[in-house]
């Protein structure tokens, strides 16, 4: 293992683009990535589990976490809070693990301020019509929430410039394959391994 610190990968993009599905496909393949489970104040959806999909918090509990600076980033999104626990991410990176966040765009931009060396991947919808279909077909949102989420999606697409990579999600397995390629590519970057090969050059016993 040449790299010492892990790399922070941030998958972001509009709600309904399929971030969760792509992330699950990726994690079914790549066991070396550590997924950071987020905190949220939104109600649990059918089929979700505490500590697996999210840590579910009340608004008061969440606001306390903000005050304690326990969150690496957080965002208020369609009337709920979402945030990334700071400690887990920092510990995993320090221990040499790659960490993967799947978060919305405002949060991704905050992470970028603190971790400019992170790798920011924007998952792009094949079209806005496809995005609307996905939000509607998921059937978990009331109609006004669907409209809010679509409005939000347009604003988010406008923020794509801050990202390093764009992956179009027309097929989940192909999108996951592209993200795996990005992860491999990032581990081969000269700047990330420079300290290690300099040590080899300085070693007089070789």
Q: Give me the residues that bind ligand 5GP (CB under 6 A), please.
A: 15, 19, 38, 42, 73, 75, 77, 82-84, 102-104, 106-107
Residue closest to ligand 5GP (Cβ) = 107
106 versus 169: smaller Cβ distance to ligand 5GP: 106
Distance of closest approach, residue 63 Cβ to ligand 5GP, in angstroms: 15
CB–CB of 123/163 below 8 Å?
no
- Pick 15 or 169: Cβ nearer ligand 5GP: 15
| Four-point Cα dihedral 47, 48, 51, 57, nearest 10 | -140
Tell me how far, at minimum, the Cβ of 133 lies from ligand 5GP, in Å. 16
- Residue 17 or residue 183: which is nearer to ligand 5GP going by CB? 17
Q: Give the CA count within 13 Å in the CB-facing half-sphere of 163.
A: 24
Q: Compute the least distance from the CB of residue 11 to ligand 5GP, in Å.
A: 8
Q: Which is nearer to ligand 5GP, 3 or 12 (CB)?
A: 12
At its nearest, how many Å lie between ligand 5GP and the CB of residue 106? 6
Minimum distance from residue 54 beta carbon to ligand 5GP (Å): 7
Task: Count the alpha carbons within 13 Å of 68 in the hemisphere toward its beta carbon.
Answer: 11
Q: Which is nearer to ligand 5GP, 73 or 98 (CB)?
A: 73
């Amino acid at each position: 293992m040449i790299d010492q610190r892990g790399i922070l990968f941030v998958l972001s993009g509009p709600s309904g683009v399929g971030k969760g599905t792509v992330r699950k496909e990726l994690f079914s393949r790549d066991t070396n990535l550590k997924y950071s489970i987020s905190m949220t104040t939104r109600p649990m959806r059918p089929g979700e589990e505490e500590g697996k999909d999210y840590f579910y918090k009340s608004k008061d509990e969440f606001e306390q976490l903000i005050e304690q600076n326990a969150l690496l980033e957080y965002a208020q999104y369609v009337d709920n809070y979402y945030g990334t626990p700071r400690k887990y991410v920092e510990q995993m990176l320090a221990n040499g693990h790659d960490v993967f966040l799947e978060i919305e765009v405002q949060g991704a931009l905050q992470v970028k301020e603190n971790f400019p060396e992170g790798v920011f991947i924007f998952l792009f919808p094949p079209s806005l019509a496809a995005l609307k279909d996905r939000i509607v077909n998921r059937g978990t949102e009331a109609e006004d929430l669907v409209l809010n989420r679509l409005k939000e999606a347009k604003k988010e697409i406008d923020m794509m410039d801050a990202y390093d990579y764009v992956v179009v999600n027309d097929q989940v397995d192909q999108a996951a394959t592209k993200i795996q390629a990005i992860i491999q590519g990032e581990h081969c970057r000269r700047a990330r391994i420079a300290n290690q090969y300099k040590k080899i050059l300085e070693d007089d016993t070789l």
